[in-house]
Amino acid sequence: MSQIFHPAMNTFAKASIFGAIFILGFLAWVMYDVTKSSYLTNEGIARNQPVPFSHEHHVSGLGIDCRYCHTSVEQSSFAGIPPTKTCMTCHSQIWTNAQILQPVRDSWAKSEPIRWTRVNDLPDYVYFNHSIHIAKGVGCVTCHGQVDQMPLMYQAKSLQMEWCLQCHREPEQFLRPRDQVFNMKYQAPADQLALGKQLVDTYHIHKEQLTNCAICHR
């Protein structure tokens, strides 16, 4: 009985199987890398804004506290975006003719809010509450990065579920005293783990509940 395939095809078949495994592995690596890239997460990308507001100038240079502009951050799920009135508290007196601030003056004159572009924007299916995180000792820097060093605001973290779960599983690694939550220059102590465990007890954080789906998806 004649042989249909040449014996060399055995080598070809083995090479094909090996190549397919290699290609699939490579594609899986590419897909994983893409999901972590700024192309999908927007991490590290400054958004265009109607006014190029500099947190570095206002926070680090002028020493303005986060709560001056984000007034509801301690009581609400939403940190709050400052109304034009907040801007004009200062800019009705200083830099009154600066061209860069014309959108602010127009907003004030027309009683129309400035349409800021959200930088840290979670999907609609994710529930996030600023006030509870602050009450439990999570610093602004933990999620938003060193905003006092950002001439233009950008998303400092990936905000992906995996990133959130790092803190929810081991909050003691990230907590700080409540009176240091808004301190941009706070440095974690050498014994952060010991301090964190103490704060978990002091602030009544129930770690066993933090990874429940209902915590973030309601």
- Distance, CA of 105 to CA of 97 (rounded, Å): 9
pLDDT at 174 (0 to 100): 97
pLDDT at 216 (0 to 100): 95
- Distance, CA of 111 to CA of 83 (rounded, Å): 10
pLDDT at 24 (0 to 100): 74
SS3 138: strand
Below-50 pLDDT ranges, the chain = none
Query: What would the pLDDT profile of 38-63 be if each residue is shown by its tens digit?
Result: 777 899 999 999 999 999 999 999 99
- Distance, CA of 174 to CA of 134 (rounded, Å): 12
pLDDT at 33 (0 to 100): 63
The structure's pTM equals 0.82
Q: Which residues contact 46 (CB under 8 A, 6 or more apart)?
A: 150, 152, 153, 154
Domains of the chain by residue range: 8-36, 55-81+116-216
Two tokens at 163?
Answer: 């990133």
Q: Which helix (H) or strand (E) holds 142?
A: helix 140-144
pLDDT at 17 (0 to 100): 76
